[in-house]
Structure 1
Amino acid sequence: MITDVMNTRNKALSRAARLVLTAGMAAGLAACAPGFKADVSRFATSLPAPQGQTFAVVADDPALAGGLEFSLYSDYVAAELAELGYVETENPEAANLLVRFDYGVDNGRERVRTTGYGRDPFFDPWGRFGGFGYRRAYAFGFYDPFLAGPEVRSYTVYTSDIDLKIDNTTTGERLFEGQAQAVSRTNRLQVLVPNLVDAIFTDFPGRSGETLRITIREDGKSVRPID
């Protein structure tokens, strides 16, 4: 009996530690960006109001089942549902609700951005004032800084997404389907998945058939557009 209690307690502490670690990584990325934006689509039928119904989170992709990475990300889903009032169980066969969860990120694609001009018309890269005779490069002839043209930069963007499905285990009825998708400069799932989960659970379950943009602010709070 004492061993069972200790195992349960250790598992809870382990989950809490994983959530804190990943939340810290997400916060670190947020500090470098104005806000994480995700497009969220949700469809719901007769999802029951939380009254202590049990749920189990399982991998929608069999290849993810049993993995430590999936366990980490599914903890975020479980935490959101528990906060709503549902009760997690580790036995999918005994659960009232079966939550199917999937996540991923693509290989990225290149984007090109044109910003301003290639060099400052008044200051060189060494911080010195440009002009005739001051720098050797400007000593002879006429230099028009605007002929240098705009500065073109390329960078990689990645599309990440999560999918969430909730079924009634008794009837087999699909109660909820939702997807959150984002385009970002990082492909780190440890940062992306927590933000996507936060987005899909903003005003959960939402209006059926609605697609909207959710912004996760730097302080970790989610904001949906005003109707």
Structure 2
Amino acid sequence: MLKFGMFSWRDGMKRWLIAACLAVSGLLLTGCATTTVQSEVTAFHEWPAQLQDKSYVFERTRDQDNNLEYRNYENLVRAELNRLGFTEASTAHPPKLKIMLSYSIRVRDVREVYPVVVNPYPAPIMNPYWYGPAWRGYYSPFYDPFWYGPPIVEQREENYQLYTRQLRIVMAQVADGKKLYETTVVSEGRNGSLAAVMPYMVKSAFADFPGKNGVPHRVELKMQ
């Protein structure tokens, strides 16, 4: 009866540990760095049902006109527009649309407290030469990591910086300046390199063009 009780208590502790580990793992996954970029995308538009002329030109501010970083992001937007059937206007053909884009990045300090399962009584190291046919199937509480009590859940603290990246793209008519499409992409993560994340933010901006008017949606893209 005592042996049965030992095994029953031991199995219960194992089930408890498995459940605790799964719960802690779920919490830790929210704070770990991932290989994806998640973006919150919101678009407002009054897009014409049929727009025959999709020629466009980028309208830049004075600072953007001589900014190499901006030019790189502009090329990303250009590639997406061309994929959607837009054409960049030439000097001989006046554009129908003008494209304006802006971006920013902010950082804040984050303090995160999360539980960690710790075994305060690690099992003793056994000599492999002790093992033998007669030892197999032998049970001793002195070699049971759960014999001395359940594992302890400790609170750990982690401090890191969280970056908020934002991209805004506006498409308007050249003739009267009327806005036809305006989208904002917001992404958060520990990666402080805007250049590394921007390609995925631009793709997210046009993932469902023109999309539902004023309805935020989340886009998740795997980083290459």
The two structures have a TM-score, normalised by structure 1, of 0.65
| Structure possessing the higher relative contact order (Cα contacts under 8 Å, 6 or more residues apart) | 2
Q: 1:173 to 1:151 in 2, by over 3 A?
A: same
Query: Residues of 2 paired with 1:196 and 1:169: CA distance?
Result: 26
**After the TM superposition, which residues 5-24 of structure 1 pair with which residues of structure 2 at under 5 Å, given as runs?**
none
Query: What count of residue pairs does the alignment treat as equivalent?
Result: 169
Contact 2:53 2:96 in 1 (8 A): no
Distance 2:157 2:83 in 1: 47
User: Partner residue of 2:120?
Assistant: 121
The CA distance in 1 between the partners of 2:121 and 2:164, in whole Å, is 39
Q: 2:159 is matched by which residue type in structure 1? A: S
Which secondary structure does the structure 1 equivalent of 2:152 belong to?
helix
Find 1:176's aligned residue among 162, 178, 181: 181
Q: CA deviation at 1:143?
A: 11
Residue type at the aligned position of 1:146: I
1:190 and 2:195 are equivalent in the alignment: yes
Structure 2 distance, partners of 1:167, 1:58, is: 10
Distance in 2, Cα, partners of 1:130 & 1:51: 77
In the alignment, structure 1 residue 150 sits paired with structure 2 residue 155:
yes
Task: Compute the TM-score of the two structures, normalised by the length of structure 2.
Answer: 0.65
Residues 118-156 of structure 1, C-alpha deviation per residue, up to 9 Å, x if partnerless?
A: x55355xxxxx569xxxxxxxxxx999738x32211111
Contact 1:58 1:65 in 2 (8 A): no
Q: Does 1:108 align with 2:88?
A: no
Residues 80-139 of structure 1: per-residue CA shift (max 9 Å, x gap)? 001111111376x9321110101111033323141414x55355xxxxx569xxxxxxxx
1:51-130 → structure 2 map (5 Å cutoff): 51=52, 53-59=54-60, 62-89=62-89, 94-117=94-117, 119-123=118-122, 129=123
DSSP 3-state at the match of 2:212: coil
Q: Which runs of 4+ in 1 moved over 4 A?
A: 47-52, 142-145
Of 149, 154, 172 in structure 2, the residue corresponding to residue 167 of structure 1 is 172
Largest Rg, 1 or 2? 2
CA distance in 2, matches of 1:130, 1:182: 48
* Cα displacement (A) at 1:192: 1.7
Q: Secondary structure at the match of 2:200?
A: helix
Match of 1:43 in 2: 44
SS of the residue corresponding to residue 150 of structure 1 reads: strand
Cα offset, 1:171, TM superposition: 2.2
Q: Percent identity?
A: 21
- Which amino acid in structure 2 is aligned with residue 104 of structure 1? S
Give 1:162 shift: 0.1
- Alpha-carbon spacing, 1:97–1:151, altered in 2? closer, same or farther (3 Å): same
Deviation per residue, 1:133-186 (Å, 9 max, x gap): xxxxxxxxx999738x32211111110010010110012211011000011011
Q: Deviations over 1:10-42 (max 9, x none)?
A: xxxxxxxxxxxxxxxxxxxxxx72421100000
Change (3 A) 1:181 1:121: same
Query: Counterpart of 2:75 in structure 1: which amino acid?
Result: D
